[in-house]
Amino acid sequence: MTKKIYTKKEWIETLAGLQSSYNIFVPVRDGDFHIFEAMDDKKNPDFNFKNTRLSPKSLVFPQSERLFEYTLDENDPDANIIKQSEKDYFPQAIVGIRPCDAHAFQIVRPNFDNPEYQDPWWIQRYESTTFVGLGCNDPDSTCFCTSVGGGPFSEKGLDALLYDLGDTFLVKVLTDKGEKFLNQAQGGKEADETALKAGEDLAAKATDKIEAKVSTDKLKDKVQTELFDAPFWNEVAFACINCGTCTYLCPTCWCFDIQDEIFKKQGDRIRNWDSCMFPLFTLHGSGHNPRARKVQRVRQRFMHKLKYYVDKYNNGVQCSGCGRCVKNCPVNIDIRQVCELMNTFSHKN
């Protein structure tokens, strides 16, 4: 697979050149934080960032998306018939995505793409996306990707990986999709041995820098119902205010809601992000709510991410260690601490 070197200036020009074949999404500085936005002349890509505030999951799974439309006009022969909305899956590339966020898409995939049912929108948008990752030279203290099957230069979920060598980017192609992307790119030189070695050293150093070690090895062996009844949930849940911050910032959370919205005689069926933290998430029409209390909802979130997902897919936890929830939880509920509590739990204690 191709390996090329670009100066940083050249790389940005190259990306601009690809805009006819791809919608190129790059990290852009926006006030205090960064956000992935479509490249354009007015905004400069800024690859000097730790990670974006919101994960790039909205580029494959938008926060609000029209799925269907219909007319309620009784004079129309198609009244009340629900029709699929037109979608445009023009190829897109997310350049500068961190390995944790790319890994997150792989973690999410079995939910939307499984033998029984396939979600057409998520799958088609995912397949039309090329992921060009940017390895993390300097992980934060809240990063724990190595504890959950990832790493600062992990290749999971990526089609190509960028190594920031200071003045240059080393681009390493990982998949056919990445090859196709780079083949259409202008410029750059074949990467030589020194560059490749520099990249490897960078990756090794970065992996060593990750301090946070979160144990997840014993989660699979715990009995689901015993962990469910553990006494520590009340303590964990007290501070929680049941907002949606953790779920919305998280690259591996995927729960959604489907709503019909009408205006006069036209209507749309829309999919919106939803959060298991909200009290109405599980409210039955009869008024019964299996998770009416805060502690039940907090327990659900952690059990889902660290136990139910583990039991269901046998593929690790539903977390990519990006640390956004740790940094942004308004009341400092720390998933690393909760995971330790769960991993070390023994019901005999």
Site for other proteins in 140-159 (CB under 8 A): 140-142
Select from 67, 196, 295, 341 the one that contacts other proteins (CB under 8 A). 67
Among 4, 156, 222, 336, interactor with other proteins by CB under 8 A:
336
Task: List C-alpha distances in Å: 290 to 25, 55, 258, 295, 339.
Answer: 41, 30, 20, 12, 24
Interface map 159-198 toward other proteins (x if CB under 8 A): ----------------------------------------
Of residues 44, 194, 337, 344, which one binds other proteins by CB under 8 A? Answer: 337
Nearer to other proteins among residue 90 and residue 117 (C-beta): 117
Which residue has 């039309």 as its token pair? 128
- Does position 43 interact with other proteins (CB under 8 A)? The reply is no
Contacting range for other proteins; rule: CB under 8 A; set: 12-20, 90-98, 300-308, 340-348: 300-308
> Is the Cβ of residue 288 or residue 348 nearer to other proteins in the bound state?
288
- Determine which residue in the list 7, 17, 23, 255 makes contact with other proteins, applying CB under 8 A: 255
Which is nearer to other proteins, 50 or 180 (by Cβ)?
A: 50
Q: How far apart are CA 6 and CA 168, in angstroms?
A: 6
Strand pairing category for 23-30 and 33-38: antiparallel
Answer for the pair 96, 132: CB distance below 8 angstroms, yes or no.
yes
In the numeric block, the tokens 């934060």 are attached to: 140
| One residue of 156, 291, 316, 342 binding other proteins per CB under 8 A | 291
Helix pair angle (120-127, 99-112), 10° resolution? 140
Distance CA 279, CA 297 (A): 8
Residue 177 beta carbon to other proteins: minimum distance, rounded to whole angstroms = 19
Among 312, 315, 344, 347, binds other proteins (CB under 8 A): 312
Q: Find how far residue 159's CA is from the centre of its chain.
A: 16
**Alpha-carbon distance 318 to 298, whole Å?**
15
CA distance 188 to 212: 36
Dist. CA 18–CA 23, nearest whole Å: 8
d(CA 125, CA 90): 9
Window 1 to 20, contacts with other proteins (CB under 8 A)? none
Residue 114 CB, nearest approach to other proteins (Å): 8
The yes or no reply on residue 256 touching other proteins (CB under 8 A) is yes
Closer by beta carbon to other proteins, 80 or else 194: 80
Out of 7, 228, 295, 341, the only residue in the binding site for other proteins (CB under 8 A) is 228
d(CA 337, CA 339): 5
The residue among 91 and 267 lying less far from other proteins, judged by its C-beta, is 267
**Binding of other proteins by 123 (CB under 8 A):** yes
Nearest to 27 by CA among 48, 7, 57: 48
Assigned token pair, 87: 């979608």
Rank residues 196 and 243 by Cβ distance to other proteins and give the closer one.
243
Name which of residues 271 to 290 contact other proteins (CB under 8 A). 272, 274-276, 278-286, 288, 290
78-117 residues near other proteins, rule: CB under 8 A: 79-82, 84, 111-112, 114, 116-117
| Residue written as token pair 């911050």 | 245
Q: Of 98, 100, 101, 119, which Cα lies nearest the Cα of 110?
A: 119
Retrieve residue 193's tokens. Answer: 């041995």
Size of the site for other proteins (CB under 8 A): 91
